[in-house]
Structure 1
């Protein structure tokens, strides 16, 4: 699936500029890497992006929301490649995901918002909606493709389908995030192949 840029909804009804939004989100990520969460301010982001601070406040209510959107834009670069088989497709997206996670701006942003969300339910919900739920599109696409190939059978109903998507996403995201950001071990082609073998075996047994 082609990557998509994220354009937050304007609360004032004014025309939005995709170029300005991209500059603001990029400036946010740069500021996080250089300053860290505690020193990051919307004023600094506005200066870096070359926009007025009021422009940021019209589009994002605060720092939490801005940083989540800045991180979400990075994950929107992910695509589910068609490499001819379910296993090869999973390996491809796992390697893409890991490559994004090791970027300094991703590590700084993701770890900051996750830490803040431990005591902020609204922030946790924004992370779920803006990052987690949006990236489940990859699982939906890969599962549908595998079903068309005959590699996976169709689910018996929408509840089973939703449960399968959640499980696959949690297994992939959990394993790759832990290995990349917690244990700081490489996610290379050999690891991706071994992980995928276990995952595909489990999916086969599940059906």
Structure 2
């Protein structure tokens, strides 16, 4: 039986092109102006849209900038490099390469600093960036289990996924943004060796 039309208007669908332009403009504004001088009006002007268009999508600049950061992180992937060690090294280097982008570096540091005073912003960062990127750790873990490099799950894997994510993300962010030291192949290899040794997932004997 076919459903009858209800006659309700669903409103104008969101434009993916407009969304991309807005998020690009938000990152550009942040790099050029900094957090304090960035305004929704400036972003709207750069994106070529009305300010009301922004407010239909984002309540304030905090939400807008977090989503602008999240889009960059969503582009991260985890190619299968054949081993857990290689997969982890690849993840570290890809994450570091993302942080080398001025837009990603500036936006991430700005929202993290602002989040120290804003619990709602912290929650949004966790949901839009942190929780979504844990997928890479979960994916790498499943591959390693399929290869027999680490044992199958004995209970809920979420706590270990959370911990591994925190260790990798924390180390790379600190190295790249706090210590301002290079995250190169040598550092990635040494870090991975330490991480896998701690997890008991070194080379098979």
What's the TM-score, normalizing by structure 2?
0.92
Larger radius of gyration: 2
- Segments of 4+ in structure 1 off by > 6 A? none
- Residue 143 (str. 1) matches residue 141 (str. 2): yes
**Residues 71-99 of structure 1, C-alpha deviations (whole Å, 9 max, x = no match):** 11111111111000000001111101001
Q: Mapping of 1:33-112 within 5 angstroms?
A: 33-112=31-110
Cα deviation for residue 13 of structure 1 reads: 5.0
Q: CA deviation at 1:17?
A: 1.2
Q: For 2:105 and 2:12, how far apart are their aligned partners in 1?
A: 33
TM-score of the superposition, structure 1-length normalised?
Answer: 0.91
**2:177 aligned to which of 178, 181, 203:** 181
Distance in 2 of aligned mates of 1:66 and 1:34 = 16
Asked if residue 116 in structure 1 is aligned to residue 114 in structure 2, the reply is: yes
Q: Report deviation, 1:14.
A: 3.3
| Consecutive unaligned residues in structure 2, runs of 5 or more | 1-9
Alignment of structure 1 residues 165-176 onto 2, 5 Å: 165-176=161-172
Q: How far 1:107 sits from its partner (Å)?
A: 1.4
- The number of residues matched between the two structures is 193
2:14 aligned partner: 16
- How far did residue 155 of structure 1 move? 1.9
Listed as ranges, the gaps of 5+ residues in structure 1 are: 1-11
Deviations 1:15-40 (A, max 9, x none): 01111111100000000000000000
